[in-house]
Amino acid sequence: MPTNILMPALSPTMEKGNLAKWIKKEGDKVAPGDVLAEIETDKATMEVEAVDEGTLAKILVAEGTQDVPVNQVIAVLAGEGEDVKAAASASPTQKAPPPKTEAKPPEAPKQAAPTSTPSAATQTAAAPVLPGNRLFASPLARRIAREANIDLSRVQGSGPHGRVVARDIDAAKSGGAVKAPGAAPGTAPLPQPPSDDKIMALFEKGSYEIIPHDNIRKIIAKRLVEAKTTIPHFYLTVDCIIDNLLAAREEINNSAPKDKDGKPAWKLSVNDFVIKALALALQRVPDANVTWTEDGMLKHKHSDVGVAVSIPGGLITPIVRQAEAKSLSVISNEMKDLADRARAKKLRPEEFQGGTSAISNLGMYGIREFAAVINPPHATILAVGAGEQRAIVRDGKVVAATVMTATLSTDHRAVDGVLGAQLLGAVKAIIENPVMMVV
């Protein structure tokens, strides 16, 4: 029996992908592990490997096609000994085909002239569904949500036109992203942003050009809205004196061995020290090394620190795993490799998914201080500004020092004010006394 090859979900947030290139052609023999195609996700370009043996009978989605939904059939594989032409002409079926028609919202029952004042419960049951609050979900998704006591209105739909399907309920049950609570029944719907037409009507025609959003920008926008509407942020700021850190950095870099071409074995940046400092601080304040879930707190054993890297069209956060146990030179070289592959969109999912906290550093752009948006599932993110000469008071005298401002954004559900202050205090202490990074 022919096997349908589906557009894979290569990350938890992936809903669509671009079919960048077919490696195999129609009629090619395929063995398990062979690379079939290259898929562009919201974060990286990844290879899709065959899991069965056979012949690629038909390609249904041409290379270069954008926004191919997850689980859509993209090709048909004829098994060993099967008729390739017959497999190619067979009508493909999906494991979870999208319904042909969308479920209509239930109509309000026709009301006869009341003989008495209806109860509050009766009024609620008979209330018509507002057009702005229409909820589309498959029957299976509704049944699973009802059995699991999950509010369908808070589940992010991944089906056609935002329809909630069974996999969305499964994701919600396992702690996946949900929408912010909406308006209570009987109240006015939450305000919606103005439509594109209304926004464009504010500007003279011909005074602008429309640049369509790519997948990366769409995902970034979606995740930022989710983060700011579902995570109660609060912010803590400290100034760190980094003269000792800069002196240590210079000494360590000057001592780096060089290869035959004169290239040093490492070249530490200030950011490498900040990564190490945050990793050690999370170990000193383990109650802040956590992730919030509705069922309980995940308390992490290691400090897996993500670092925001700017890529064309967006941002990605590769992760330095177990950074607390790595030397500064290892962190530096690993971070350079991750950043290079991030810009080339060659990171593997496990290299940018998860993590326990993150760092965003805009100091190299001259930014003095800023507050970063938490990147779920993290409970904290450290925003780092530029190191600059400032006047400080030391022993009653005004002196010059190199000062770097750091701001910790915190999920108040997981890390409260005192705990956040303890974590940021630990970061400051380690940065100002960098010898502690090598103890």
8 Å CB contact between 389 and 401? yes
φ, ψ for residue 103, nearest 5 deg: -65, 130
Q: What angle do CA 80, 86, 89 make, to 5 degrees?
A: 125
d(CA 248, CA 4): 58
Six-digit token pair at 34?
Answer: 């062979």
d(CA 158, CA 13): 10
Cis peptide before 2 (omega within 30 of 0): no
Residue with tokens 């303890």: 422
Closest to 52 in 3D by CA, of 79, 74, 28, 73: 79
Identify the active-site residue in 161, 233, 378, 412.
Answer: 412
Please indicate whether residue 412 is annotated as part of the active site: yes
Contacts of 5 (CB under 8 A, 6+ apart): 36, 48, 50, 73, 74, 75, 76, 77
Contacts of 6 (CB under 8 A, 6+ apart): 70, 71, 72, 73, 74, 94, 95
* Pairing between β-strand 65-69 and β-strand 35-40 as defined by DSSP bridges: unpaired
Is 246 exposed, middle or buried, given 0-12, 13-18 or 19+ CB atoms closer than 10 A? middle
Six-digit token pair at 427?
Answer: 């970061």
Cα 37 to the center of its chain, rounded Å: 24
Six-digit token pair at 358?
Answer: 């993150």
Q: If you count DSSP H runs as helices and E runs as strands, how many of each does the chain have, helices first?
A: 10, 18
8 Å CB contact between 411 and 380? yes
Cα 69 to the center of its chain, rounded Å: 18
Catalytic sites, residue numbers: 412
